[in-house]
Amino acid sequence: MVLKPSHYKSNVWIDWCPGCGDFGITAAMYRAFSELNLDPAKTVVVSGIGCSGKTPHFLNVNGVHTLHGRAIPFAVGIKLANPELTVVVNGGDGDLLGIGSGHFVAVGRRNIDILIILHNNGVYGLTKGQASPTLSKGVLTKSLSKPNIQDAVNPIALALASGYTFVARGYSMLAEHLKNLIIAGIEHRGTAFIDVLQPCVTYNDIHTVEFYRKRVYNLEDEGWSPDVKGEEQETNKKLLAAWEKSLEWGDRIPIGIFYRNTGISTFEDRLSEEIPIYKISPPSKQIISDEKGRTLIDREIFRKIFRDYIIIRKQER
């Protein structure tokens, strides 16, 4: 049975400001999940704290609304313990690139098979509009008393530098395009990242729908080819090109897939090499005792496993 997009909508009232870009992101998720026919019980949406952090409650799949900045490590634990789950992280720009930036970088090094969706609105929405790590120097948004004196981090470049193997940008108002990115991100084996430009109608009066409409263009339309095919040299070439592209911001803002490399092992693959039974029997699936609550390791097995730590006393003659 194929589940319709509406099936993925929970019955919780969505309490974002009318017109918020987060609606577009959530709608794109409903549609992507439906097209992929994801089993809600085998899908987990993990979020941090912020307006974006509420996302899981609006979806009818498993939801884990965690701590500010920590969605990624929660998601990593979920995925490593049960790799059959589809795990999607939703975080704010403060969440993923400010307080949680260490995790954002670390997950790229591992290439764990999850998708991370950044709700990039340039502000700390839920705390009323302070500058976020993606707001450029000199920009004055509504809540600020003076132009921003901190500069912006470049999410695309940071993801590339951190080792993400799927790096893309979407725009919350282009739902069809974003839906396709989400599908591609979920289907990608490895850590996938989508930087979603998300207008905040209440606190960001600079990066508005009007602002983006004039600037956003689709990489694909210009014949951009993000995919690494084979060789290491090719990887570096594609990385450099994507990096350069990520600097483009101003009159023209590219969206689409910047970089994709399917040739890197996932962390799950690497674990399976260490622990052969990992794939068939990951931590969440293992039976650890019999019905009576007895441990799998009894005295004899204990003696075998830990023989290097056991000393058998000299026998008296």
Partner 1 sequence: MSVKEANILLGGPQGAGLETTAQILTSSLAYLGYGVLADREYYSNIKGRHSYIHARISAEMIPLSLSYPVEIVGAMDSETIFTHFEDLGDGGYLIYDSSTDNRTLSSIASMEPILKNRITERLKRLGVEAKVSSLVDYLASNGRAEIVALDFPSILDTFKKRFEPEPIQASRYVSSILVGAVCGLLDIDEEAVKYGVSRRFMKKEKLIEHNVFLVNYVADYIRENYGSPYKLDNSRLSLNEMLTVMGNDVVAMAKIVGGLRYQSYYPITPASDESFFIEAFERLEVDGDSIGGIVVFQTEDEIAAITSAIGASLTGARVATATSGPGFSLMVEGLGWAGHSEVPLVITYYQRGGPSTGLPTRGGQSDLLFTLFASHGEFPRIVLASGDHIEAFYDAIEAMNYAERYQLPVIHLLDKFLANSFITMGIPDFSKIYIDRGMIVEDGEDYRRYEFNGPISPRANLGSKAVMWYTGDEHDEYGHITEDPEYRIKMYNKRMEKLDLIDKEIDPEKRAVLYGDFSADYLLVGWGFVKGVAIDSINKLRSQGLNGAYLHLKMFSPFPSSYVKSIIGSFDSDRVILVEHNYLAQAGKIVAMNTGTIIDRMIVKYTGRPIYVNELIIGIRKILEGEMRVVLSYGA
Ligand X SMILES: Cc1ncc(C[n+]2csc(CCOP(=O)(O)OP(=O)(O)O)c2C)c(N)n1
State the residues that interact with partner 1 by CB under 8 A: 10, 12, 40-42, 44, 46, 49, 54, 56-57, 60-67, 70, 72-82, 84-85, 102-103, 105-106, 271, 274-278, 281-284, 286, 288-289, 293-299, 301-306, 308-314
Q: Please identify which residue in 47, 121, 148, 261 interacts with Mg ion, judged by CB under 5 A.
A: 121
Binder of residue 95, out of Mg ion, ligand X, partner 1, none (CB less than 5 to 8 A by kind): ligand X
**Interaction residues for ligand X, span 53-82 (CB under 6 A):** 68
Nearer to Mg ion, 128 or 285 (CB): 128
Strands 123-124 and 130-131: antiparallel
Q: Please identify which residue in 86, 90, 93, 226 interacts with Mg ion, judged by CB under 5 A.
A: 93
Binder of residue 84, out of Mg ion, partner 1, ligand X, none (CB less than 5 to 8 A by kind): partner 1
Q: Please identify which residue in 94, 108, 155, 199 interacts with ligand X, judged by CB under 6 A.
A: 94
Nearer to ligand X, 83 or 133 (CB): 133
The interface mask with Mg ion, positions 64-83, x = CB under 5 A, is --------------------
Strands 253-260 and 166-171: antiparallel
Q: Crossing angle, helix 71-81 and helix 101-110, to 10 degrees? A: 30
51 touches ligand X by CB under 6 A = yes
Find the shortest distance in angstroms from Cβ 214 to partner 1. 37
Q: What phi and psi values does residue 120 have, to the nearest 5 degrees?
A: -95, 95
The DSSP string of 162-230 is HT-SEEEEEETT-HHHHHHHHHHHHHSSS-EEEEEE---TTT-SSS-HHHHHHHEEEGGGGT---B--S
What's the Cα-to-Cα distance from 274 to each of 136, 145, 219, 259, 278, rounded to whole Å?
A: 44, 54, 39, 29, 8
Q: What phi and psi values does residue 304 have, to the nearest 5 degrees?
A: -75, -50
DSSP H or E run through 288: none
Nearer to partner 1, 57 or 189 (CB): 57
Is residue 252 within 8 A of residue 287, CB to CB? The reply is no
Q: How many C-beta atoms surround the C-beta of residue 230 within 10 A?
A: 8
- Where does this chain bind Mg ion (CB under 5 A)? 92-93, 121, 125, 132
Residues of this chain that interact with ligand X (CB under 6 A) are 49-52, 68, 92-95, 119, 121, 123-127, 132
